């Protein structure tokens, strides 16, 4: 019994702390964030219809594109509804097929040529993320909803201590009843 | 019954493990940090100009502002209010002023509900007040330090932790309201 408990505790610690970072033939550049974009502006439109990777229809809004690094381009699209989309464009011509597969599994989309998107005529990988950019934006912080938020505050700590004590005492009492 | 007692004991150990992890998080000096922070500027503010209070009425946030520093990538934090990074400009001056706090209920927990258009008031040591309007919000990873880079406008960047086990930073960018 004690062995099982120790094994479970060790497994939980390993599961919550361990993560494996994949190695690529080239490093993924820093794309920055559309809340404070860096790099040279290569295109900028205050309005009009624009294509977004992964969306079939064009969407109306403002669009700015920055050369954030040698191999990276950051597209900041702000639609009229305020739910902005940042698209990170990574040149894929120096990536191996294995790298591309790993990145595709991480949510990147393979684009055979950037020329259809106003970029260089080489393959790209693109990945979208959200940001809010206008007054009427509706998106909340989705990571908070999914995540274990407010970690480290005293309420969380006391709650876990009390819950832990409750479970342990209940478990011990049930165990005594079994004997 | 035997299975239930084991389940309770395992849950109890899990709660205690998570509790210990939370205690560590609450004292971890790297918890609110960004990696690769390299935008420190020499700012020598007159004492009367120092920000003393941050008020976001829409989010029920009303906190004292405590000056802070980054030393060896350890970001000073406090449970007494929000931290103002003294190596960034005074809020309202040209550039990007950085204010951050834990995502605790007593501090910036409600920041994740910020949306563009809401107003932030900063009160200074000389009792003057400046109003900023939220322009962008976003979630980024701690290696995305470009959100702290200097800017050409008069902006404040607020942030707190979010995501699973505080693995991300929730960013709010606000610019000085036109008079």
Q: Cβ–Cβ of A161/B7 closer than 8 Å?
A: no
Kindly give the pairing relationship between strand B82-85 and strand B61-68. Answer: parallel
A148: closest chain B residue by CA: B164
Q: Would you call B28 helix, strand, or coil by DSSP?
A: coil
- Residue A142 has a pLDDT of 52
Report the Cα–Cα distance between both ends of chain A, in Å, rounded.
14
φ/ψ (deg, to 5) at A17: -110, -25
Tell me the chain A residues in contact with residue B173 when contact means C-beta distances shorter than 8 Å: 35-36
CB B43 within 8 Å of CB B151: no
**CA–CA gap between residue B34 and residue B37 (Å, rounded):** 6
* B176 to chain A, closest Cα gap in Å: 15
Q: Which helix (H) or strand (E) holds B93?
A: none
**CA–CA gap between residue A23 and residue A36 (Å, rounded):** 28
**CA–CA gap between residue A126 and residue A116 (Å, rounded):** 13
**CA–CA gap between residue A178 and residue B11 (Å, rounded):** 19
Closest to B163 (Cβ–Cβ): which among A38, A147, A166? A147
**CA–CA gap between residue B4 and residue A66 (Å, rounded):** 58
pLDDT in tens, B94-122: 999 999 998 888 899 899 999 999 999 99
Query: Is residue A147's pLDDT more than 50?
Result: no
The residue among B93, B117, B127, B125 whose CA lies nearest residue B174 is B117
Question: Which of A127, A132, A161 has the highest number of chain B CBs within 10 A, making it the mutation to test binding with B?
Answer: A132
Query: Is residue A13's pLDDT more than 80?
Result: no
ipTM of the complex: 0.80
């Amino acid at each position: 019994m004690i062995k099982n408990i120790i094994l479970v505790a060790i497994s939980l610690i390993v599961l919550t702390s361990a993560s494996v970072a994949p190695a690529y033939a080239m490093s993924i550049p820093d794309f920055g964030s559309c809340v404070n974009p860096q790099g040279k502006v290569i295109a900028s439109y205050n309005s009009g219809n624009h294509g977004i990777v992964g969306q079939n229809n064009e969407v109306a809004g403002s669009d700015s594109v920055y050369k954030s690094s040698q191999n990276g381009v950051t597209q900041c699209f702000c639609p009229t509804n305020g739910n902005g989309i940042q698209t990170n464009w990574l040149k894929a011509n120096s990536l191996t097929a294995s790298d591309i597969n790993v990145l595709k599994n991480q949510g990147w989309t393979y684009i055979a040529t950037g020329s259809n998107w106003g970029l260089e005529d080489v393959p790209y990988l693109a990945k979208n993320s959200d940001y809010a950019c206008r007054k009427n934006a509706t998106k909340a912080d989705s990571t908070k909803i999914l995540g274990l938020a407010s970690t480290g505050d005293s309420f969380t700590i006391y709650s876990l201590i009390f819950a832990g004590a409750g479970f342990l005492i209940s478990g011990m009492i049930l165990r005594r009843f079994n004997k | 019954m035997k299975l239930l007692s084991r389940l309770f004991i395992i849950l109890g150990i899990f709660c205690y493990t998570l509790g210990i992890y939370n205690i560590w998080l609450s004292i971890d000096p790297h918890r609110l940090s960004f990696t690769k922070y390299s935008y420190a500027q020499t700012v020598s503010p007159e004492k009367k100009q120092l920000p003393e209070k941050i008020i976001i009425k829409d989010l029920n946030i009303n906190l004292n502002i405590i000056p802070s520093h980054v030393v060896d990538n350890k970001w000073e934090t406090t449970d007494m209010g929000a931290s103002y990074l003294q190596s960034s400009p005074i809020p309202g001056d040209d550039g990007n002023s950085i204010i951050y706090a834990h995502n605790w209920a007593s501090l910036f927990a409600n920041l994740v509900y910020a949306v563009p258009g809401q107003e932030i008031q900063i009160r200074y040591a000389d009792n003057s007040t400046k109003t900023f309007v939220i322009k962008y919000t976003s979630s980024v990873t701690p290696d995305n330090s470009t959100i702290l880079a200097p800017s050409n406008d008069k902006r404040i960047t607020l942030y707190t932790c979010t995501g699973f086990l505080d693995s991300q930073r929730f960013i709010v960018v606000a610019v000085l309201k036109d008079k």
